[in-house]
Amino acid sequence: MRRALDTYKPITTVHGQVGYGYFGKHAGYDYGVVHITIKAPEDGVIMNVKKSPDTDGGNIIEMQSSKYDHRFLHLKSIGVKIGQVVKEGQNLGVTGNTGNVGYHLHHDTRIKGTAWKDSYANYVDWESIIKSKEIDMYKGRSAKQWYEKVVQVHGQAKRVTKIADDRGRALEVANSSIKTLQDQVKKLGAKPKAVVVEVGETTRSWFEKLINIFRR
């Protein structure tokens, strides 16, 4: 589960904002981007692709996961086909300005199988879901708490390659053991802004979340 865009892009219209869409409230999130690759937010299947650059939503991709229906609007290009099985993080297409409402990505999510005519209550506040899964790595945590959080959230994060303090200074601890890491963290003393784990099979999605937060 991840954002459709690799980095945390500026939100131009939030979920529920009054005055947008068929229900008088915005049914998803708008991100102010021009031409950015969209990634599948979850494993799923492409249910529909609509190439209609001059109509309301422009070029559209509809994707279904085990729990949700996702839609991506105003795309410049579509890189998937109806019925295609996609993996989380797989490229789906590129954002654009089709529908002529200004360059942005509109991403909306509703409970799987909910028809559009049904209630607004079935839309899903995807951005909040993602946020709730991110690790709180802001102010006030000691280095030790930081490290414990890493292990708690990602039990297999056995090796850490880099620690950055709250001024962004990086301390390289390549190929360190947990013990070495603990020593390094202790030495760093201050409150590290983030801990970057080595990228591997099991740490990849967690690593991506860290990168998203880093870039805010």
Residues in contact with Zn ion by CB under 5 A are 30, 106
CB of 19 to Zn ion, least distance (A): 11
CB of 28 to Zn ion, least distance (A): 5
With H, G, I as helix, E, B as strand and everything else as coil, classify residue 65.
coil
Q: Given the complex with Zn ion, which of 99 and 192 has the nearer CB atom?
A: 99
Q: Given the complex with Zn ion, which of 44 and 57 has the nearer CB atom?
A: 57
CB of 129 to Zn ion, least distance (A): 17
Question: Which residue carries 């998803």 as its tokens?
Answer: 28
What is the spatial distance between Cα 65 and Cα 129, in angstroms, rounded to a whole number? Answer: 15
Q: In what helix (H) or strand (E) does residue 162 lie, and over which residues does it extend?
A: strand 160-165
CB of 133 to Zn ion, least distance (A): 23
Q: Given the complex with Zn ion, which of 106 and 154 has the nearer CB atom?
A: 106
With H, G, I as helix, E, B as strand and everything else as coil, classify residue 73.
strand
Q: Given the complex with Zn ion, which of 84 and 114 has the nearer CB atom?
A: 114
CA dihedral (207, 75, 109, 11) positive or negative: positive
Q: Given the complex with Zn ion, which of 5 and 150 has the nearer CB atom?
A: 5
CA 38 to chain centre: 10
Across-strand partners of 51?
Answer: none
The residue with its CB nearest to Zn ion is: 106
Token digits for 29?
Answer: 């999130």
Token digits for 154?
Answer: 């990602």
CB of 130 to Zn ion, least distance (A): 17
Contact yes or no for 29/14 (Cβ under 8 A): yes
